[in-house]
Amino acid sequence: MPLPEGTLPVAVALLVAGLASFAFFRVGTMALGSEEAFKPVVSMWFATFALAPGVFLPLEQELGRAISARRAVGQGGRPVLMKVLALGLALAAIVTITLIAVGPWLADDYFGGNWVMVAALIVSIVAYAPTHISRGICSGSARFRAYAVVMGTDGFVRIVLCLALAAVGVDAVGWYGMAVAVAPMIGVIAVASKGQLRTDPGPPASWQEVTPNLGWLLLGSIMAAGLVNAGPIATSVLASSSEEALVTRFGYGVILARIPLFLFQAVQAALLPRLSRLAAAGEMDEFRSGFTRLMYVVGGVGLLGTVGAWLLGPFAVELLYDAELSRRTLAVLALGSACYMFGVAIAQAVIALHGHAQVAMGWTAGMVAFVVSTWLIGGEVFRRVELAVLIGSATAMIVFVWALRSRLRSGAVPNESSMLEAMTDMPFEA
C-alpha cells in the first residue's frame, strides 16, 4: 500500500527536529564552556516542552478536528479558527501570568539566579501558542507539507541560531535560551507568508463545536507532557548547587532515550492514517488487526532502544557529548521511554474510541506515581528520578491497557473526527 499523503514530509521534519536536538545540546555546551554553564538552558528546554505542548496541543487537536469536519461538508473553517484563537490567547495569558507570579522562585532556585531565562521561558510559551494553532490549521486542511515545515523549521532554526551565537563568541546563557524561545515562530511566518494558513469563511461556530473534549484533552495533555519531561525538571530541582553538571548530563541521557520515540513518530505517520480510513469505513476487524501490528512495532522499537542503551549508551554519550552516564541510568531511561511510547500508542486508541476522560485519568495517575516515587525512593538524585520516570510511565501504560479493554467491551467505535484527534495526540516535542 502506498504511504499516506503527508507521511514523507512529516517523517523528514521529525528527523530534522530529532537531529537538531542532539546538536543543540552539544554545541550549546561547547559554546558556554561547561555543563554547569549550560544547565539553565537545559532546565528551560524541558520546562518549555512540558508547558507548551501540554497547554496548546489540545487546541491543535480540536482545531484540526473541527476544520476537517467542516471541510468534509464543504464549509469554511474561519469561524472555528476565531474561537480557537480566543482560547489560545486566554491560555497563553494564564500561563504567562502564572510564570510571572512564580518568577522569583524560577529565577533563584530553578535557573540559578538568571531572570533572563524566566523571560525566555515566557517568550517560548507566547511563541508556541500560534505554532500549535498553525499546525491545527494545516492538519485539518490536509496541508501536510506546511505542517512539516512548521515542525521541522523549529529544530532547524534553533540549531542555526545556536551555531551563529557560538561562531561570534557569545557566552551569555540567556541568548541560547532565547534561541529556543523564538525558533518556532520562523516556521509559522514561513507558511503564513505563502498563504498556507488561510481559512475560508463559513457558518458561525458555537463553543460546543470546538470544545466538546477540550477539558479532558487539556488535563491529559498537561499531565502527559509533564510526565515525559518530569525527569530533567526534577533533577534540576533536587540537585544541589554543586551538582549542576548532573542536570545537563541527565538531559543528555533523556535526549538519547527518546530516540525510540522519534522512530515511533515516523511509524505512526505511516500507520495511523490507514487506521483512520479503516475506522471511518467501519472495518473494525481490520482496525484491530492494524492496531495489533502497531503494538508489535512499538514493542520492537522499545526493546531495541532499551538493549541499545545498555550496550551502546555510555559510548554514545561519550562520543556525542564527551560526558559519562552509567549503563543503568541509560537503560532505565530507555525502558521508561518504551513504557511511555506504549502509553501514547494505547492512549491514542482510547481517544479514537472516545475515551478522552480515561486518557486524562491515565496520564494523571502516571504523574502522581512519578511524584510519589520521587519522594519515597532514597539515594542519589539520578537513581530516584530515573526509577520514578519508569514507574510513572508504566503506571500510565497499565491504566491505558485497562481503559482500552473497557472501551472495546462497551462496543465503542471510532469515527473520522475521533481518529484525527488520536493521530495528533503526541504530547511531547523534540
Q: Rounded to whole angstroms, how far apart are CA atoms 88 and 126?
A: 10
Identify residue 405 by its one-letter amino acid code. Answer: R
**Residue 9 scores a pLDDT above 80:** no
Please identify which residue in the block is written with the cell numbers 532515550.
Answer: 257
Q: What is the mean pLDDT of residues 78-86?
A: 94
For 182-203, the pLDDT digits (tens) are: 999 999 999 999 999 999 999 9
What pLDDT does 53 receive? 87
In this structure, the answer to whether residues 161 and 227 fall within a common structural domain is no
Mean pLDDT taken over the chain: 86
Task: Kindly state whether residues 194 and 299 are assigned to the same domain.
Answer: no
Are residue 260 and residue 409 in the same domain, yes or no?
A: yes
Q: Looking at the structure, do residues 194 and 327 belong to the same domain, yes or no? A: no
The type of residue at 340 is Y
For residue 213, give the C-alpha cell: 473534549
pLDDT tops 80 at residue 422: no
Residues 119 and 12 occupy one common structural domain: yes
Count of the separate structural domains present in the chain = 2
Predicted local distance difference test score (pLDDT) of residue 142? 80
Q: Which three cell numbers stand for residue 276?
A: 483512520
Query: What is the pLDDT at residue 2?
Result: 42
Give the count of beta carbons closer than 10 Å to the beta carbon of residue 7.
19
Residue 373 has pLDDT above 70, yes or no: yes
User: What is the C-alpha separation between 300 and 161, in angstroms, rounded?
Assistant: 36
Which pLDDT score, from 0 to 100, does residue 145 have? Answer: 86
Q: What pLDDT is attached to residue 248?
A: 87
Burial class (CB in 10 A: 0-12, 13-18, 19+), 15: middle
Mean pLDDT confidence for 88-110:
93
Count of C-beta atoms within a 10 Å radius of residue 46:
24
Place of cell 471510532: 414
Q: Are residues 184 and 259 in the same domain?
A: no
> What does the pLDDT look like over 374-408, one tens digit per residue?
999 988 888 999 999 999 999 999 999 999 999 88
Task: Give the mean model confidence (pLDDT) for residues 57-72.
Answer: 85
Average pLDDT of the residues in 245-273:
75
| pTM for the structure as a whole | 0.85
Query: Do residues 368 and 417 share a domain?
Result: yes
Specify burial of residue 104 (Cβ count, 10 A radius: 0-12, 13-18, 19+): exposed
Find cell 491529559 and name the residue: 220
Domain final residue, candidates 162, 194, 211: 211
pLDDT band at 425 (very low <50, low <70, confident <90, very high): low
Range 118-134 average pLDDT = 94
Low-confidence winner among 130-139, 252-261, 286-295, 334-343 (lowest mean pLDDT): 286-295
- In one letter, which amino acid is 401? V
Residue 363's pLDDT band (cuts 50, 70, 90)? very high
pLDDT at 7: 61
Which of 149, 179, 211 lies at the terminal end of a domain, its last residue? 211
Q: What is the pLDDT of residue 144?
A: 81
Residues 298 and 194 occupy one common structural domain: no
Q: Is the pLDDT of residue 71 over 50?
A: yes
Task: Quick: pLDDT tens for 139-167.
Answer: 888 888 888 899 889 889 999 999 999 99
Residue where one domain finishes, among candidates 156, 185, 211: 211
Q: Choose among 119, 141, 109: nearest CA to 239.
A: 109
Same domain membership, residue 241 and residue 228: yes
Range(s) of the domain holding residue 103: 1-211
What is the per-residue pLDDT for 3?
Answer: 44
Q: Where are the alpha helices (DSSP H) in 168-283?
A: 173-193, 207-210, 214-238, 244-257, 259-280
Residues 128 and 229 in one domain: no
Q: Do residues 152 and 28 both lie within one domain?
A: yes
pLDDT over 90 at 84, yes or no: yes
Same domain, 184 and 232: no
Number of residues in the chain? 430
Range in 172-181, 199-208, 289-298, 317-326 the model is least confident about: 289-298
